[in-house]
Amino acid sequence: MIKSADFISKDSQYKNVFFETFGCQMNKLDAELSLGLLQEEGYKIVDKVDEADVILFNTCSVRQHAEDKVYSHLGALKTLKKRHPEVIVGVLGCMAQKDGEAIFKRMPHVDLVCGTRMFSRLPELILKIRNHGSPVLAIDEKQVVNIKRAVTYRPNIYQAFVTVMRGCDNYCSYCIVPYVRGREISRTIADIKEEVHTLVSNGCKEITLLGQNINSYGKGLDGGVTLGDLLTELNSIERLERLRFVTSHPKDMTFDLIKTMSQLDKVCEHLHMPAQSGSDQILKRMRRGYTVGYYRDLISYAKELIPCLTVASDFIVGFPGETDGDFQETVRLMEDIRFQNCFIFKYSPRTGTKAADLKEDVPDEIKRERNMKLLEIQKRISLEENKKTIGKEVQVLVEGASKSDPNRLSGRTRQNHIVVFNGLQDLVGKLVDVVIHEVTDLTLFGKLTNCL
């Protein structure tokens, strides 16, 4: 057993960590937890690799592009590692889980490969490398992640992500997630409630519940609890202002849950529910388990009950077998639903998934064209929809200085619009009302109502 006292005495001179995260919100949360653990052990976070004693990449393997990026970052560290062999280089998360040992072969200067279920043992693994000087591979699939939030490293005390379930049992034919993140496991309502209470008593106002497949929350727990039950419980927490949840799967989304959303005052009027395609033929090949008709029915019902609801989606273009006709159906779905924003991806075959066996018959050129076309359509729709907010007053939770203009503040509406406006720093963390004057496809610009 390695005690943290040993760790501090032997390792105290190597306490600067550089940490970079790629990929989804779940990865960002894992990063938060890992950094929290490292900080508890006395690490200082640095933002330059040259100042670091430990360099960690928390990786994503959902598309080839994400992996290529990490390999190129790792490659760039070769000379640094030659000059400073004592610096520890580690690969964490999905790509670590998927590629395992092969990472050492391709990048011999890597010291640590730590999978999706091992990050809570990070300090101990780093110490092992320091003490023994040999690389460590930690990708045990049987490890059960302790998903209780043990430590809370958060860049912003007013907002927090809380994992309510991990893993995915869906096996959509293109997706690597079930292979690298494992089966679905839900946390109990009591556990989650306790964490949210702690966050709220420390000043948190907005909680986003996280799960790869959040609508199947509760599966495997006693008493047949659902996401609706969880939202209802959390909605009663005093001083919590806003509740969000991501990501919704249309197959597991229910009319009941939409009704519950509409009845709970803290649940924000926003859904991220990836459609992936507007063609039934493609949805079937993707093994998504719903039809476009069902998707449309869900959205119609949701907009009927929650008229100001905004919806975001993900789409994959160039999936094997996608014809021009299939693509036109995706265009039609986009035009009809009028999403607030969409993430559009070119299909990237992932070894080991069902779709990897399908013939890749959409040339890259066509994938690129379809990608551009959807981006163009979405940009126009986002701008048109944002224009509808001009002259209206919106409620904003102030998050901090705007990234594009540090002299202004930025925050989000309940519908997940980004709003930029003039105001003093002491408004950070407060709910304010802003009247919108100007918009782009991505941002609303306005003035505080009391400063008109």
- Name the residues that contact ligand SF4, by CB under 6 A: 168, 170-172, 175, 177-178, 212-213, 249
- Smallest gap from Cβ 340 to ligand SF4, in A, equals 20
- Give every strand in the sheet of 136-138, ordered side by side: 44-45, 16-21, 54-59, 88-93, 112-114, 136-138
- Rg (the chain; Cα; Å): 23
> 212 is in the binding site of which of ligand SF4, ligand 5AD, none (Cβ under 5 to 8 A by kind)?
ligand SF4
- Smallest gap from Cβ 314 to ligand 5AD, in A, equals 3
> 348 is in the binding site of which of ligand 5AD, ligand SF4, none (Cβ under 5 to 8 A by kind)?
ligand 5AD
> 345 is in the binding site of which of ligand SF4, ligand 5AD, none (Cβ under 5 to 8 A by kind)?
ligand 5AD
Between 66 and 151, whose beta carbon lies closer to ligand 5AD?
Answer: 66
CA atoms within 13 A on the CB side of 145: 29
> 347 is in the binding site of which of ligand SF4, ligand 5AD, none (Cβ under 5 to 8 A by kind)?
ligand 5AD
- Smallest gap from Cβ 175 to ligand 5AD, in A, equals 5
Distance separating alpha carbons of residues 430 and 377, to the nearest angstrom: 35
- Smallest gap from Cβ 18 to ligand 5AD, in A, equals 26
Between 259 and 287, whose beta carbon lies closer to ligand SF4?
Answer: 287
Between 279 and 386, whose beta carbon lies closer to ligand 5AD?
Answer: 279
H or E segment to which residue 258 belongs: helix 255-263
Burial profile 302-316: b = 16 or more Cβ within 10 angstroms, e = fewer: bbeebeebbbbbebb
The CA–CA distances, whole Å, from 451 to 355, 421, 424, 433, 435 equal 56, 11, 11, 10, 10
Under 8 Å CB-to-CB from 145, ≥6 apart: which residues? 116, 117, 119, 120, 166, 185
CB 55 within 8 A of CB 90: yes
CA atoms within 13 A on the CB side of 285: 20
Q: Pick from 375, 284, 367, 274: which is nearest to 318 by CA?
A: 367
> 23 is in the binding site of which of ligand 5AD, ligand SF4, none (Cβ under 5 to 8 A by kind)?
none
Between 355 and 428, whose beta carbon lies closer to ligand SF4?
Answer: 355
CB 425 within 8 A of CB 443: no
The CA–CA distances, whole Å, from 231 to 66, 217, 414 equal 33, 11, 16
- Smallest gap from Cβ 334 to ligand 5AD, in A, equals 14
- List residues near ligand 5AD by CB under 6 A: 62-63, 174-175, 274, 276, 314, 316, 345, 347-348, 350
> 154 is in the binding site of which of ligand SF4, ligand 5AD, none (Cβ under 5 to 8 A by kind)?
none
Between 166 and 350, whose beta carbon lies closer to ligand 5AD?
Answer: 350
- Smallest gap from Cβ 184 to ligand SF4, in A, equals 9
Between 183 and 368, whose beta carbon lies closer to ligand SF4?
Answer: 183
- Smallest gap from Cβ 62 to ligand 5AD, in A, equals 5
Residue length, the chain? 452
- Give every strand in the sheet of 159-163, ordered side by side: 159-163, 206-210, 242-246
> 178 is in the binding site of which of ligand 5AD, ligand SF4, none (Cβ under 5 to 8 A by kind)?
ligand SF4
Whose tokens are 């610096």? That residue is 87
> 104 is in the binding site of which of ligand 5AD, ligand SF4, none (Cβ under 5 to 8 A by kind)?
none
Between 74 and 175, whose beta carbon lies closer to ligand SF4?
Answer: 175
- Smallest gap from Cβ 24 to ligand SF4, in A, equals 9
Query: What is the rounded (10 degree) CA torsion for 120, 126, 132, 137?
Result: 60
Between 170 and 415, whose beta carbon lies closer to ligand 5AD?
Answer: 170
Between 226 and 277, whose beta carbon lies closer to ligand SF4?
Answer: 277
> 63 is in the binding site of which of ligand SF4, ligand 5AD, none (Cβ under 5 to 8 A by kind)?
ligand 5AD
- Smallest gap from Cβ 98 to ligand 5AD, in A, equals 12
